[in-house]
Amino acid sequence: MASTSFFDDPDSLVNKSLKGLALADPGLIVDLPNKTVLRRSTLISDKQKKVAVVSGGGAGHEPGFTGYVGPGLLTAAVSGSIFASPSSEQIQRALLRIAPCTAGVLVLTMQYTGDVLNFGLATEFAQSRGIDARFLTVGDDVSVGRRQGDKVGRRGVAGTILVMKIASALAETRRWPFIHSRSPPSDGLVELGMGIHNESGTARVARSSPDLVKCMLNQLLDPRDQDCHFLDITEGSEVVVLVNNLGGLSQLEIFAIAEEFCSQLESAWNLRVVRVLSGSFLTSLNGPGWSATLLKLVSTGLGPEASMLSLLEAPAQSVGWPSVNIKSRIQPCEALDDPVTDAVALHDTVKASNLRVDLQSASRVLRAGLDRVVSQEPEITRFDMVVGDGDCGVSLKRGAQAVLATLSGPEIPDDVVLLVDRIATAITTSMDGTSGAIFAIFVNALVNGLSQLDVPEGGAVSVQHWAAALAFALKRLQRYTSARVGDRTLLDSLVPFVETLGHTLNMRTAAAAASQAAEATKHMKPSFGRSVYLGNSEQ
């Protein structure tokens, strides 16, 4: 946090800010325990249901995203701590809260690993509960080129706000690139390509506004830059420009920067700027910098009344969106006491299947494997201290112990969907970090896969059932990570296991394939995680 903050406790600051937001807009309701802002009209309306748009992310980027909740914009937004993604459980509760009041949910988030995994996991959870939820990520940062972003993809930044606005306007009808510039020490240079969490930039260039804008436009539009050129555009094309204040610049400067940016677009690139949005749309606390986004206007295929421009200009009302017409009145913040927990137990929201498991055999097999994980924690931690953050062993141990505790609990169901759902909940609530999110996504998707099996006759779950559901879960997991076989991740053993099981329908053969594949990772070059940055001797 900035040294000039008037608040010593970051968590208290986030909660107070959410309450203050509701004071500024009486159309909002705040679920404070889950740091979620919801549109009041959606929860109480008896009109025709519409598609809901839900987003969120770490605090510190205001007005993104809680400041965009309102008519014509987001239905709900979930906030994390400062610069930290909200947990999947927070997001799950938001989706369960609004689902009965909507005709489906679009979950939209920026392309950052924590956001993608946690919002993706919540989407899988919602789908396993029969909610029509769809997932969309936005990555629009051209400063992360093809070489650097080969696996992880481009970061999501202020272009996300334009996508959000267009999607939200479509939802209201009931139908279903940019660069950062952050000022470094006063040496006449600025850093180009910084991320909104202060990630390092790609270059240091002259501070002069005309030269800086020229450099940025070259990176955005020059087709000769094969690494960072993502936007194909021809002379005479119509564009929308968004100039975003990262939090520390005056309006005087932002308007001047917007003028320079548009002037060069028209004079040097012969593009037609039809709309300009300037101001604080997605900040980085009080970051002394700015970003610029170009939106190329193309046909939506939905007719002139649903063109990209008309959707951007469709009526909308929220604290964060420009030209808001809110009649603010001071009233006590209405905070919800965890409405989902009070209304329904999470386990009760998943439907039972017709498939049964032998609880005694299942418990024996699971306990053997889980006990092995717990006993190996020191060894896993030792290795992870070298090639990771040192938390992998502890996280795996917590997950294993949570599942063991679940198996020892009362009234363990013999229905396979209900049993795996209990295990998924234990993993989701006990494991953190990237690996925890990946395990949670996979097991929650397994619940979904088992639920979709067509087994009207019921009976005992078979290896064929497991093979089909595991293949479904693997496909879903690969939506949320670009890691593949050969990248030296847990997918190197998971994929052979699932694929071998599908071919052979033999668990022992599949387990042997997974073990062999895990051994092979010793000689692989890493493509994900901290080990990417280590030298060969450290690996």
| Residue 340 counted as domain residue | no
CB atoms under 10 Å from CB of 395, counted, come to 22
What CA–CA distance (Å, rounded) separates 410 from 263? Answer: 69
Q: Which of 61, 180, 197, 229 is the catalytic position?
A: 197
Q: Which residues of the chain have pLDDT under 70?
A: 1-8, 45-47, 144-153, 174-189, 193, 195, 197-202, 206-208, 252, 323-349, 387-389, 528-539
Note the pLDDT of residue 500: 97
The CATH number of the domain where 254 resides is what? 3.30.1180.20
Spatial CA neighbour of 61 closest among 246, 201, 330, 307: 246
CB within 8 Å of 195: residues ≥ 6 apart: 141, 155, 157, 180
Q: Indicate the DSSP class of residue 68.
A: G
Same domain as 421, residue 442: yes
Number of domains making up the chain: 3
Spatial CA neighbour of 421 closest among 452, 456, 445: 445
CB-CB contact of 120 with 90 (8 Å): no
What CA–CA distance (Å, rounded) separates 447 from 473? Answer: 8
Containing 40, the helix (H) or strand (E) segment is: helix 40-44
Same domain as 454, residue 480: yes
What CA–CA distance (Å, rounded) separates 125 from 104? Answer: 14
| Residue 330 counted as domain residue | no
Rg (CA), the chain: 25
Domain of 458 in residue numbering reads as 350-533
| Residue 329 counted as domain residue | no
Separate counts of helices (H) and strands (E) for the chain: 17, 14
Amino acid sitting at position 449: G
What CA–CA distance (Å, rounded) separates 291 from 61? Answer: 13
Note the pLDDT of residue 517: 93
CB within 8 Å of 523: residues ≥ 6 apart: none
CB-CB contact of 56 with 86 (8 Å): yes
| Residue 2 counted as domain residue | no
Residue 197: active-site member: yes
Same domain as 482, residue 397: yes
The CATH number of the domain where 81 resides is what? 3.40.50.10440
- Phi and psi at 245, nearest 5°, equal -80, 120
Same domain as 160, residue 222: no
Note the pLDDT of residue 537: 41
CB-CB contact of 460 with 356 (8 Å): yes
What CA–CA distance (Å, rounded) separates 539 from 535? Answer: 6
Same domain as 312, residue 229: no
What CA–CA distance (Å, rounded) separates 193 from 181? Answer: 6
Note the pLDDT of residue 221: 87
The CATH number of the domain where 414 resides is what? 1.25.40.340
Same domain as 301, residue 393: no
Same domain as 303, residue 279: no
Same domain as 306, residue 195: no
Q: Indicate the DSSP class of residue 407.
A: H
Q: Give burial (CB, 10 Å; 0-12/13-18/19+) of 12.
A: exposed
Same domain as 158, residue 304: yes
Q: What is the dihedral of CA 313, 317, 319, 323, to 10 degrees?
A: 40
Same domain as 170, residue 77: yes
CB within 8 Å of 419: residues ≥ 6 apart: 357, 359, 362, 412, 413
DSSP 482-502: ---TTSSSTHHHHHHHHHHHH
Same domain as 477, residue 404: yes
Q: Tell me the CA end-to-end span of the chain in Å, nearest whole number.
A: 34
Same domain as 307, residue 249: no
Spatial CA neighbour of 291 closest among 229, 212, 352: 212
| Residue 336 counted as domain residue | no
Note the pLDDT of residue 357: 94
CB-CB contact of 217 with 210 (8 Å): no
CB within 8 Å of 253: residues ≥ 6 apart: 290
- Phi and psi at 191, nearest 5°, equal -100, 125
Tokens 């070259």, located at residue: 218
- The structure tokens listed for 240 are 């929308």
Beta bridge partners of 332: none
Containing 63, the helix (H) or strand (E) segment is: none
